[in-house]
Structures are given as structure tokens and as C-alpha cells.
Amino acid sequence: MKIVHVVGARPNFMKVAPLMAAIERAGFAEQLLVHTGQHYDAQMSDVFFEELGLRRPDVFLGVGGGTPTEQTAQAMLGFEKVLREHRPDLVVVVGDVTSTIAAALAATQQHVRVAHVEAGLRSGDMTMPEEINRVLTDRISDLLLTPSEDASDNLRREGIPEERIHLVGNIMIDTLLACLPRARKRGTVAKMGLEPRRYAVMTVHRAANVDDEATLTRLVEALERVQERLPVVFPAHPRTARQLQAFGLDGRVDAMPGVRRVEPQGYLEMIDLVAHAAVVLTDSGGLQEETTALGVPCLTLRNETERPITVSEGTNEVVGTEPKRIRTAVDDVLAGRAKHGRCPALWDGRTSERISDLFRSQIRITLPYFAAGIRV
């Protein structure tokens, strides 16, 4: 069996690394790693291969920047050539980035089966590019691998046949638990002169938050209010840094005495910071999951979340982007009124093994399917 894994942006690497390792241990498939190049710089890409033990990509498509439409088109053209050359039995896509839908579309058009890891997540906001990517990828994928029962329920409500839905757990937690001991040894908190549980971490990067001047201004005001209560580590995503400068807000951020604005951190450094924080403020889906697994209070700077299980069972609270509400939520956390959540079922560090077992069980389905000449 030949399996092609597709990555394109920072969150993809943490999901693919444990799965490729599990399949390699099981020894039933040849694997190929394709990097579209959607995100490609040392801090957002290269460092993750080193820290996660993920092998270098076998194929790099070099998609680079551009609009989502341009990226999708370039990734599809490049990936179609990969499919024709390597003729895989299964394509694995993860998450909800542009590369995810591009690879799924190209594979489906070539009649190659697609497995979507992290399927079924829904925010209900179709103005989000990520939501569009999720819905479309799930519609055309053959194997829908969900992180939680609510995600499986979403697919059932959309009419997806039960045999395509597989509850496997959260693969991000596999990487988190495996890397946590090494992350703590980095001593990132001490190196920054911070005290555990006496600082906050804030990250924003989604288009709805950083591309709209009014929204980003509100978030800067919220940052201003929060840093009056406790120090805030602010790893500035490249997109966020550009928009702060474009809207003339970067000077305001840099003038805040309680804000430690830093470059995007490596995975291990970021996990160490998050694990020891008093509270995390973010619009990142991955951080919502990781804080729930770590038992760290999380305030989601959006009006909705595609990961509601982190709210219903975990430590997450959706607070929007209004400065007053954000500051009040931080005050509640510091006063000991934070949510006390629990880790959801199957967030146990063994998701990659369950997916590997599922793929191995598909050999009898996949190989005759392609041997029959259906694939182009």
C-alpha cells in the first residue's frame, strides 16, 4: 500500500508526524510526504521537522503566497503531477488549510481515495475560509477521521454515511504528550524571566481578526488592558505583524510595558510557555485543544469555535473580541474562577495508532479498488 501525506502549514506537521511514525512501526505501507509550501519559513515550517522528528518532505511544491484561490490552483496543479507519478492508494489530508482542500480535490479527480484527519469540525461560520475547507473536504473524502463524538454527529447531520465516519480521537494530543517532557526541559519560561502561572500568552492570526482594522484595534486594546494585570507573551504571527504595521498599531503594542512581543516560537518552546501560563488568549484551534489537554484556562478570541468540546468539557471559554469582556474573563481566571475541565475521550496519545490500524484494515478494500483500473 502506498500512502501520500500532505502538509502545507504549521498545524499540519503536528498531526502528520505521529501518524507517519505509527504507520512506519506497523510496516504495512510505503509513505510519501508532500509539502505544498503554503507556509514556508524557518520558524513556521523548518523548525517543526527538526523538533517533531518528521522526515524532510519527499516532494516540495513551492506554492508560496498569494490569495487562497491562487494557492489552491497552484497546489492542485503541483499535486496532480505527484499523483500521476507516484500513483498512491491513499492520500491523507489534515486540518482545514488551503492545502487540505487542494490536495483532496486533486486526489478525488484522479479517483484516489482520501482520508481526512480531523474531520467533522464545524464553527457554523461560512465566512471563514477554514470552514469552507472543512465542509468541502469532508464532502469528498472517503475516510472521515473525527477527533470527538460531536464532530461525528456533525457529519451524520450532514448526511454522511456511517461507514465513512471513524471516531479516532485527537491526533494533536499524541504530539503534545510525546513532546511535553522535552518541551519542559527547554526552560523557555525561565529564559524569558517569567514565573509559572504569573503570565499570559496571547496569539492571533485568523483573517477575521487581523485583516479587519477595527477588530485588530479592539484586540490591541484588549492586550493593553490585560497587560495591566499580568505580563503577556505575544508571539506575533507574520501575518499579524504585517497587519499591525499596516494599520499603524505596532508602535502601540511595542510601547506596552507588560507585553513581551516575540517572534513565532518553535513547537517545544510554545508548549512550554502554554503549559506554565496562567491563561492563554488565542484564536488558534490547536491551542484550544492543547490548553484543554494541559488543564490551562483558555479564552478564545472569536465569537464561535469549531471545537465546542473544549468548551463543554475542557477549559476553554469563547469571549469574542470586545476588550471589556476579555479583561473581565482574565480577571475571573486570576480570581480563581476559571473553568475546571477534563480531557475528552480518546485524547489519550494513541490516536495515531488507531488511524494506522484503520488504514491497514483498508488494504483489502483499497488495493483491489485500484487494481480494477478505476484510478486514472
Tell me the per-residue pLDDT of 101-150, one tens digit each, with 9 for 90 and over: 999 999 999 999 999 999 999 999 999 999 999 999 999 999 999 999 99
Of 89, 134, 135, 146, nearest in space to 114 by CA: 89
Same domain, 190 and 318: yes
Tell me the per-residue pLDDT of 48-101, one tens digit each, with 9 for 90 and over: 777 888 888 999 999 977 888 999 999 999 999 999 999 999 999 999 999 999
Beta bridge partner(s), residue 60: 35
Same domain, 160 and 188: no
Q: What is the pLDDT of residue 10?
A: 83
Same domain, 86 and 52: yes
Same domain, 272 and 160: no
Evaluate whether residue 339 is within a structural domain: no
Same domain, 82 and 33: yes
Evaluate whether residue 298 is within a structural domain: yes
Q: What is the pLDDT of residue 373?
A: 40
Which set of grid coordinates corresponds to residue 375?
484510478
Evaluate whether residue 175 is within a structural domain: no
- pLDDT at residue 323 tops 80: yes
- pLDDT tier, 158 (very low <50, low <70, confident <90, very high otherwise): very high
Same domain, 113 and 52: yes
Which set of grid coordinates corresponds to residue 142?
472517503
- For residue 65, the enclosing domain spans 2-170+347-371
Same domain, 80 and 140: yes
Residue type for 333, please? V
Q: What is the pLDDT of residue 40?
A: 60
- pLDDT tier, 375 (very low <50, low <70, confident <90, very high otherwise): very low
- pLDDT at residue 253 tops 80: yes
Same domain, 357 and 300: no
d(CA 234, CA 213): 19
What is the domain count for the chain?
A: 2
Evaluate whether residue 341 is within a structural domain: no
Residues noted as catalytic: 205
Q: What is the pLDDT of residue 66?
A: 84
Give me the CATH number covering residue 72: 3.40.50.2000
Mean pLDDT of 19-32: 97
Same domain, 19 and 96: yes
Tell me the per-residue pLDDT of 265-300, one tens digit each, with 9 for 90 and over: 989 999 999 999 999 999 999 999 999 999 999 999
Q: What is the pLDDT of residue 369?
A: 44
d(CA 347, CA 168): 9
d(CA 313, CA 200): 22
Question: Contact 212/246 with Cβ under 8 angstroms?
Answer: no
